[in-house]
Amino acid sequence: MVILQKAVRGLSKDSLERFTLRARKLAGLQGTANVQVTASRAVQALNRRFRSKNKATDVLSFPAGEAAILNKKTMPLAGDIVISAEIAERNAVKLGHSAAEEVKILTLHGILHLAGFDHERDNGEMALRESELRLKLGLPMALIERTSPERSQTNSPARQKSAKKKRSNLGRARVSRS
C-alpha cells in the first residue's frame, strides 16, 4: 500500500505502487511493503521515538518481523517504509534529478532494508545490491553510492558472491535508517 500524505511533483500513488511492486520482486522481498511519503515533521517524530534521534531523515524502514499478519488471500507484510517528501525534494534538486526519482531511490533503499540488508554492518553487500537494482530500475545514483562512494567502488568477487546469498532475517525487530 502506498500513502502519499505529502504530494511530490511528478509522482502518483499508482506509479509508486507499480515501482514498489517491481522493486520488491527484483530485490526478492517476501511480503508486501507499505510506503508512506509524508512531512519531515512526521519522519522526525518517528526517528525520535524509534531511534532516539530528534531530527528528520530521508527514509526509515520498519521490518514487520514476527508480528506480521498472515492472510491466505494476501502476502504477509514485510514492513513499512516512511519517506520525507521535503528531504526527497531537496536532494533531488541538489543531485539534478526529479523528486519522483528520489522517492523511488529511497523506496528501493527501504525495500533492501526490509529484505534484511544493513549497509552499516554488511561490508558493502547492500551497496552492491542497491547499485545493481537501480540500474535495472532505471534510477540515477543509488543512495549508498552517493553517501559513501568508497564503499560502492570496491566490487570484489567475494562481495558479489556474498551479495547474492539469500537473506532470511526478516524477523529481526529493528528500525533501519539510511
- Per-residue pLDDT tens digits for 63-119: 986 555 555 456 688 999 999 999 999 999 988 899 999 999 999 999 999 998 888
**Residues 116-135 pLDDT 10s:** 888 877 778 888 899 899 99
Mean pLDDT of the residues in the chain: 80
Q: What domains, with CATH codes, occur in the chain?
A: 2-117 (3.40.390.30)
**Euclidean distance between CA atoms 61 and 110, whole angstroms:** 5
Name the residue with cell 522526525: 44
Residues near 177 by Cβ (< 8 Å), separated by ≥ 6? Answer: 47, 51, 53, 57, 59, 60, 61
Distance of CA 95 to the CA centre of its chain: 18
User: Quick one: DSSP state of residue 140?
Assistant: S
pLDDT digits (tens, 9 = 90+) for 17-41: 999 999 999 999 988 999 999 999 9
Tracing cell 518517528 back to the chain, one arrives at 46
Q: Which of 12, 41, 28, 42 is nearest to 103 (CA)?
A: 12
DSSP string, 78-122: EEEEEEEHHHHHHHHHHHTS-HHHHHHHHHHHHHHHHTT--TTTS
